Chain A
Amino acid sequence: MVELALSRIKGLQKARKNQFLRIWGISATIGNINEALDVLIPDKNTKRIIVKADLEKKILIKSILPDDIETLPWAGHLGLKLAHKLLPIIKKSKTTLIFINTRGQSEMWYQHLLNIEPELAGRIAIHHGSIDFELRNWIEDALHTGLLKAVIATSSLDLGVDFKPVDTVIQVGSPKGVARFLQRAGRSGHSPYETSKIYFLPTHALELVEAAAIKEAAKTNDIESREPFIMVFDTLIQYLVTLAIGDGFDDKIIYKEIKNTHAFKLILEEEWVWVMQFITSGGDSLSAYNEFKKVTKDEDGLWKVKSRQLAMRHRLHIGTIVSDAMLKVKFITGGYIGMIEEYFVTRLKAGDNFRLAGRVLEFIQVKDMMVLVRISKQKNAISPSWNGGRLPLSSNLGAVLRKKYNEALDKTHQDEELDTVYPLFLLQEKRSHVPRNDELLIELIHNKEGFHLYAYPFEGRLVHEVLAALVAYRLSKLLPISFSLAMNDYGFELLSETEIPMDESIAYGVFSTKNLTEDIKLSINSTEMAKRKFRDIACISGLVFQGYPGKYIANKHLQSSAGLFFNVFSDYDKHNLLLRQAYDEVFYQQLEEPRLAAALQRIQESRIIITNPKSFTPLSFPIKVDSLRENMSSEELEQRIFRMKAESEKIK
C-alpha cells in the first residue's frame, strides 16, 4: 500500500513538472536493508543512499528462570506461574513495560498482577489495540511523565514511541523472532549510549530453549529479512477503487505508475486488463457479470465511483489489516472503554461479566451496534478473545534452535536456560529420543484418540503447515486414510483413526524431494490452506462487506462469507486472479519452496529415528494441545461418513 501511495505521489509530482522529491525510510530492525531500499525506490537511476549509525547498542538479556523445571507446564501461553518473580523487577525499576503476545492474555496478566500485589493498584495500566483511543493516549502520556510503575502492552507499543522513564522491558512468552525481540528491548534505555534491559519470561518449558536461541541470534545480530509483498491483486484492487472514489483516475497513467513499483513490476498486460474488468464490469465476459456496478468511466474520461453509497462503503473498508467485525463497548452512563469482537458478544447473556481494559464489566445489552455495560462488583470474569494471527517462528531462529538442542544434550554451552531445562531433555530421551542435528525424529503414539504421528524438522510453523500437508498427502496415496493435521514451530502431527503405515523406507519416501512441486500443489489443493488465505483477500479487495457502523439490518441482503466466494469462484470463474493469489500466497510466501527443498534435502541426509513412546513426550505434548487443525483425506466421502457414524455409535 505504501509503495502504491508513493507511486501516486511521484506521478503527481511529475505531472506538475516538479521533480524534487525526497523519500526517507527509517528502520532499526530489518535484515535485508538493501532490498528494502529497492522496494522503496525501485528506480536505480535515482540518487539513493543508506545511512547507518556506527553505534553499538548495548542490550542486556536475562531469562526469568523457574526454581524447578517442574513448575513450568509442558505447553501453554500464559506463564502466570512465574508472575511473582516479576514483582521485584518492577519494584527496583523506574518504569517497566511488560509485553504479552495477545490482547486476551494481557487482560489476564493485568488482573493477576493486581491479585498478587494489590499495592500496584492505580500504578499499573494496560495498553492494547482494542482499548479506546483516548484511554490509550492517557496511558501514553502517563508513561512519559513517569506516573506509572508498569504497563502491560501488546504489539501496540512495539513501534515508534519513546518513553524516557522506561528502563526495563519484560517479554512474556516467545517473541518468535529476533527483530521483534530487539525492537521491544529497545523500548528501554531509548537513547544512544544507554543500555537496553530486557527480561524473558517463559510460558512453557521448551520456551527456555527458544530463549537461549534468541539470545545467541541477538548477540550475532542475526536479524530476519522481511520479504516484500509482490503481485498482491487484492491491495491493487482496493487502491484503484480508492482512487476512483476520489477525483477518478486515468488507467493509462496509473498502469505506468504501478509498473514502476517493486510490487507490480512483473504485472502482465492481461493481468492489468483483468483487474480493470474486475472493478468496472465484474470480471471477464465469459463468466457473465450482468448489471455489475462499481467503477465507471466519466465524461471527462476518468474512472470514477458514481454511487455515493458504494463510495461510503469502500471508505469504511480501506486498509489491509483484516479483523473480525468489532463492536464498541460503552458504559451505560457514557464513556467508551474499547472494542470487542462481534463473535464474542454473541456468546454473552445479560448479567455476564467480562474483562476489558483491566476492568470487570457487566454486560447489559447490545444497542445500536454498541455494547452497553456497567462496572461489575465481581472480581473474576472471562476475558474476551481477539482473533489475531499466530506468530510463526522465523527461519533464522529455527536453525539456531536445532543447534541449541544439540548443545543442551552435549552440555557444550554456557546458557543457564539450557541447564534449567535439562531434566526435560532427560525425560524426552527416556520416553523417546532427543533428535540431534543430523537426525529426524518420528514418534508414533497410539491412544484412545487414535493413531498419532509426530515429526520434528524444527523449521517453523509455516513450513510445517505445508510439510504436514505434503507428508499426509503422500501417505494417503499409499492407502485410503483420513488425517487431522496440527503443527507448531518444532514439528507437526498427523492424527488418524486407522494405523498410519510408517517405517524407515516409507519415511524417506514421504520426505523425498522427488516430484516436490507437483505433490505440494496437490496437497495444498486437498486442504483448506488457500481457502483460509482467501479470507483476508476477500476482505481487502472489498468482496466481503462487514457492515456500516450503527446499521445492522440494512446490509443483511448483502451478507456473505469469504468461503462462499471462494467456492463460487472455484466453480464458476476459475481464472479469477484473487483466487490465484490465494494459492500463490500459500505457495510462495508461506512455503518458501527453496527453504522446504533445503529442509527435505537435509532430512534425506539425516538418520531417521522412529520411536513408539507409550505416552506423550515433552516434544509432542505442545503440538497435541494445539487446536488449529487441517484435514486431509483420500477416502471416499460416503465411506468416511459411514465409518465416522459407526464409531460415534460405538462411543454411545
Chain B
Amino acid sequence: MTITIQAEELVLDKERALYIPKYQLLAISDLHLGKSAHFRRAGLQVPSTITQSDLQRLDILIKKYNPITLLVTGDMFHHGLNTDIADFSAWRKQHQNLDFLLVKGNHDRLSNTDYAEMNIEIHEPSFCLGPFCFIHDAPKYTDEQLYPISGHIHPGVSVIGKARQRLKFPCFYFGNDYAILPAFSLFTGLYSIRPKTGERIFAITPKNVIEV
C-alpha cells in the first residue's frame, strides 16, 4: 500500500517494513536479533528457525525493493552476542553492497567494534532524512520541524465490530506528531494503541495492509 506523508510517497509492506522510493531506503524496526537464543540460554525452548525466518523475510524484501539503504530504527539486537547474531553476520556478508544503518534502541548494547565488524553504521539518537527523523522511541515533543518515525512499542490495533466481534493486528501508526513502525520480528508481542481522530492506522493482515 502506498500513502503520502509529509508530501513524500511511502510504501507500507505487509512484511512489516516501510519503503521510501525517493531515497531507495527500506526501514524496519525492532528486529530483536538474538532474542530466541537468549531465551534458549536461559532454558526456554524457542526454536532458532524463528531468527532464520526473520532473515529470510528480510531477503525477500531486499529482492523486492532493491534498496540502497536498510535502516533499523532500534532494538536490532535483543541482548548480547550469540548464535543468532552469528547467523546474522553470515547473512550480512551476502549483502555487502547494502548500506546498513542502525538508530540505537534500548536493547542495543553491543560494543562499537561489534557493530563495525558487521559493517553497521551507527546513529545516535536519530537519523534524519528529508522531512523525516528516524528515532527509536518517539519524543513527546520536538523542537525540530522534522516528522519523527519511531518503533519501540510494537504497536497493535484492535478492530471492533458489531455483535461483539474483535480482531487484533500488528500495525503502522501515523499520528499528527509522529509515526510508529510495527515490530519486524515475529517473536514479539503487541501493545494495543487506540487512534484518535485525524490519526491513521494501517493494520497488517497475513495478506495485505489495510487502513482501519
Contact = CB atoms under 8 A, between A and B. Distances in A.
Interface of A: 278, 282-283, 287-294, 305, 307, 310, 313, 449-451, 482, 484, 495-497, 542-543, 545, 557-558, 560-561, 563-565, 568-569, 571-573, 629, 631, 637-638, 640-645, 647-648
B199 to A, nearest CB: 15
28 contacts: A282-B45, A282-B46, A282-B47, A287-B49, A289-B46, A291-B37, A291-B40, A292-B43, A293-B42, A305-B43, A307-B43, A313-B42, A449-B162, A449-B164, A543-B45, A561-B189, A572-B50, A629-B164, A637-B205, A638-B205, A640-B165, A640-B167, A641-B167, A643-B161, A644-B162, A644-B165, A648-B161, A648-B162
Interface string B165-196: 11100000000000000000011110000000
B212 interface: yes
B33 to A, nearest CB: 13
Name the residue among A292, A449, A564, A571 with the largest chain B CB count within 10 angstroms.
A292
Contacts of A641: 159, 167, 203, 205, 210, 212
A493 to B, nearest CB: 10
A35 B41 CA distance: 43
Which secondary structure dominates where chain B touches chain A? loop
Interface string B42-56: 111111111001000
- 3 closest pairs, A vs B, by CB? A644-B161, A450-B163, A294-B43
Contacts of B163: 449-451, 482, 484, 495-497
B189 A647 contact: no
- Interface size class on chain B is 35 or more
A255 B50 CA distance: 32
Contacts of A629: 164
Given A290-B83, A291-B83, A637-B205, A644 B45 contact: no
B210 A310 contact: no
B165 A484 contact: yes
B30 to A, nearest CB: 14
B2 interface: no
A293 B164 CA distance: 44
A638 B208 contact: yes
B6 to A, nearest CB: 25
Interface string B99-133: 00000000100000000000000000000000000
A121 to B, nearest CB: 43
B39 interface: yes
Nearest to A241: B43
B206 interface: yes
Given A637-B207, A641-B210, A641-B212, A283 B47 contact: yes
B65 to A, nearest CB: 23
B161 A647 contact: yes
Nearest to B83: A290
A487 to B, nearest CB: 14
Interface string B69-108: 0000000001100110000000000000000000000010
Name the residue among B37, B38, B45, B189 with the largest chain A CB count within 10 angstroms.
B45
B49 A558 contact: no
Nearest to B82: A291
Contact of A497 (B159, B162, B186, B187): B162
B7 interface: no
A289 B189 contact: no
A545 B40 contact: no
Contact of B47 (A543, A563, A573, A638): A573
A580 B208 CA distance: 31
A291 B36 CA distance: 10
B160 interface: yes
A136 B41 CA distance: 41
Nearest to A544: B44
A283 B42 CA distance: 14
Nearest to A545: B44
Given A293-B41, A638-B208, 14 more contacts: A282-B45, A282-B47, A289-B40, A289-B47, A291-B83, A292-B45, A307-B43, A310-B42, A449-B163, A497-B163, A542-B43, A571-B50, A572-B53, A641-B159
A531 B188 CA distance: 17
Contacts of B82: 291
A287 B208 CA distance: 28
Contacts of B53: 572
Name the residue among B43, B161, B186, B210 with the largest chain A CB count within 10 angstroms.
B43
Contacts of B47: 282-283, 287-289, 568-569, 572-573
Contact of A564 (B38, B165, B187): B187
Nearest to B188: A564
A481 to B, nearest CB: 10
B159 A644 contact: yes
A291 B81 CA distance: 12
Interface in B1-59: 37-50, 53
Contacts of A484: 163-165
A561 B39 CA distance: 13
Contacts of B50: 568, 571-572
A195 to B, nearest CB: 48
Contacts of A482: 163, 165
Contacts of B45: 278, 282-283, 289, 292, 543
A642 B44 CA distance: 39
Nearest to B39: A558
Nearest to B106: A556
Contact of B161 (A451, A497, A637): A497
A564 B78 CA distance: 17
Given A288-B49, A572-B50, A638-B205, A560 B159 contact: no
Nearest to B45: A282
A508 B114 CA distance: 67
Nearest to A284: B47
A569 B50 CA distance: 10
A638 B207 contact: yes
